[in-house]
Amino acid sequence: VLVGHDMGGLAIMSLSQRHPELFAARVSGLVLLATSSGTLAAEVSATWPNALGKLARDLESVLGSKVFGVVREHTSRAVSAGLRWWLFGDDPDPELVELTVKMIRGNWPHTVSLFRPAMDAYARDAALAQVAGLPVTAIVGERDRIVRASDVEQWVRGLGNGTAVVLPGVGHVVPLEAAAQVLPRVVALVN
């Protein structure tokens, strides 16, 4: 059973296309967490990370790495508040928010700002056709601002052997924010 969050879910679907023999021989199910198979939520996610990433790259090239680092430190609270709103649901654990901010900052701006073009270019329909015979559990947070619950429910219906689970009050960082609700579903698919 393979489990992937967001682009990790897309990596699993890509693997299914590139190595269908591996999937036929070894994979018995999928758990896809906050993984889009169609459009992303356009309200915020379409431009926010790319625009901020471009701004950060431009500022770093103009100011230099050291000065940019100082600016980045002074904007830390605003960035944390923005990421909390964008990625989490109703009442996230502050330690999990801080962990997520650290992970993103470790890859910002270069990697994070490129995720949207990569997701837009991905051929999702072919990947979904490849995994259609497997049991699939797709879990998404009700408050996810990147992947819409209604989109997940729609593509899961098309699989024939899928289950969509929408977790109330949870945002995009499902494996951290709702580990206690995710883990039993993974175990159920393994058994």
Mean pLDDT for all residues in the chain: 78
The pTM score is: 0.75
Number of residues that this document lists for the chain: 191
Tens of pLDDT, residues 18-40: 898 888 889 999 999 998 865 55
HEC secondary structure over 4-48: EECHHHHHHHHHHHHCHHHHHHHCCCEEEECCCCCCCCCCCCCCH
pLDDT of residue 39: 55
Residue 50 burial by Cβ neighbours in a 10 Å radius (0-12, 13-18, 19+): middle
E strand or H helix that includes residue 178? none
Q: How confident is the model at residue 61 (pLDDT cuts 50, 70, 90)?
A: low
Q: What is the Cβ-side half-sphere exposure of residue 118, based on CA atoms within 13 angstroms? A: 12
Tens of pLDDT, residues 106-124: 766 556 556 556 655 555 6
Highest mean pLDDT among 5-14, 102-111, 161-170: 161-170
